[in-house]
């Protein structure tokens, strides 16, 4: 897994970058969608789009598909704040996140554990790592229902998920996603709210 920003370090400010990690199938995209849906209730974290060189499969992930040529053109034009490669595809986060952070925004990105160190070197204390954790048996069921991988590939993903949890930095926050989506979204939003000065707990901003 590799990537590069080609950018200078961003100065810390009131904005916070919640760098969401987790195994494929952990429900990251579902929780991020839930955070978007809560925006109408008076609490509005900003969820960054991902640009990926994989065509959408009609599942929960809502990303912007780019061809390899289009992706490389954007890299050349310095259009990404972050970008990396994993599992045969390329992933990018647009530079709009830097503007949001400069304006004090609470920004969520669907990141990669393999790129975390580079992201930290760019965003410093503004970056807060967050793991979406799922019980291995539940993760196996989700991956099987998704139907993207064969049984051997699913087992490999579960092993990588275990390795991910063993390699987490000590300051990583963990959100368990073994119950309802609403409960996990509420917990994630609570964590975001607690990082802000003069913010009430997110329980006051209930999702529909």
Longest dimension (CA), the chain: 49
Strands (E), 49-177: 50-52, 64-65, 80-86, 89-94, 106-110, 127-133, 173-176
Quick one: pLDDT at residue 51?
96
* pLDDT tens figures, 50-78: 999 988 766 556 689 999 999 999 999 99
What pLDDT was estimated at residue 117?
Answer: 94
Asked whether 182 and 33 are in contact (CB, 8 A), the reply is: no
Domains and CATH numbers, the chain: 12-49+105-204 (3.40.50.300)
What pLDDT was estimated at residue 202? 40
> Which residue has 């920003």 as its token pair?
5
135: exposed, middle or buried (C-beta count within 10 Å: 0-12, 13-18, 19+)? Answer: exposed
The answer to whether 107 touches 72, Cβ cutoff 8 Å, is no
**Chain segment 142-189, per-residue pLDDT in tens:** 888 877 778 888 888 788 878 878 888 889 999 999 989 999 999 999
**Across 79-105, average pLDDT:** 94
* Residue 137 pLDDT exceeds 90: no
pTM: 0.83
């Amino acid at each position: 897994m590799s990537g590069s920003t080609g950018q200078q370090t961003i100065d810390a400010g009131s904005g916070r970058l919640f760098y969401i990690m987790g195994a494929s199938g952990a429900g990251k995209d579902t929780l991020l969608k839930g955070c978007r849906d809560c925006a109408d209730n008076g609490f509005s974290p900003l969820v960054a789009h991902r640009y990926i060189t994989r065509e959408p499969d009609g599942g929960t992930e809502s990303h912007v598909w780019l061809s390899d040529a289009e992706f490389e053109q954007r890299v050349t034009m310095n259009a990404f704040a972050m970008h990396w490669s994993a599992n045969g595809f390329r992933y990018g986060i647009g530079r709009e996140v830097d503007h949001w952070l400069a304006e004090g925004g609470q920004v969520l990105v669907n990141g990669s554990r393999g790129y975390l160190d580079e992201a930290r070197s760019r965003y410093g204390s503004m970056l807060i790592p967050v793991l979406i954790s799922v019980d291995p048996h539940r993760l196996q069921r989700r991956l099987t229902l998704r139907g993207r991988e064969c049984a051997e590939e699913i087992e490999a993903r579960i092993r990588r998920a275990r390795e991910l949890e063993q390699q987490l930095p000590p300051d990583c926050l963990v959100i368990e996603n073994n119950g309802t989506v609403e409960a996990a979204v509420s917990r994630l939003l609570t964590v975001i709210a607690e990082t802000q000065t003069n913010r009430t707990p997110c329980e006051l901003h209930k999702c529909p």
